[in-house]
Amino acid sequence: EVQLVESGGGSVQAGGSLRLSCAASGFIFDNYAIGWFRQAPGKEREGVSCFENSDGSAYYADSVKGRFTISSDNAKNTVYLQMNSLKPEDTGVYYCAAEHLPIISRCPREYWGQGIQVTVSS
């Protein structure tokens, strides 16, 4: 059974940093695309960053390029999202997602974590 458990969210002032973690179980990292989405109140869920561990290619939404970095620790089956220079518009619920390769869309959407709140105050 695929399970994704997020941690590391919280509240921070603008300009601050947070690191989200997604502990994955029930699948082999190399066979999956993994990524992060977020959903702000009243808005659709959007892909923030995702990658395919098999080739190392990563996608970043334009709004987070240069500020967010996705990485993984295969030994721990954990994916991270380092978020720097946070802005109030980064506020939302962040979700970890995974999908068995190959995927059609840019970011995975097959399995989801429960989500974790990130709040950035001005």
Share of the chain above pLDDT 70, in %: 100
21 Cβ neighbours under 8 A, 6+ residues apart: 6, 7, 8, 78, 79, 80
Mean pLDDT of 36-40: 97
Residues 45-95 have pLDDT tens digits of 999 999 987 777 899 999 999 999 999 998 999 999 999 999 999 999 999
Kindly give, in sequence order, each residue whose CB lies less than 8 Å from that of residue 86, ignoring residues fewer than 6 positions away. Answer: 12, 14, 15, 16, 17, 18, 67, 118, 120
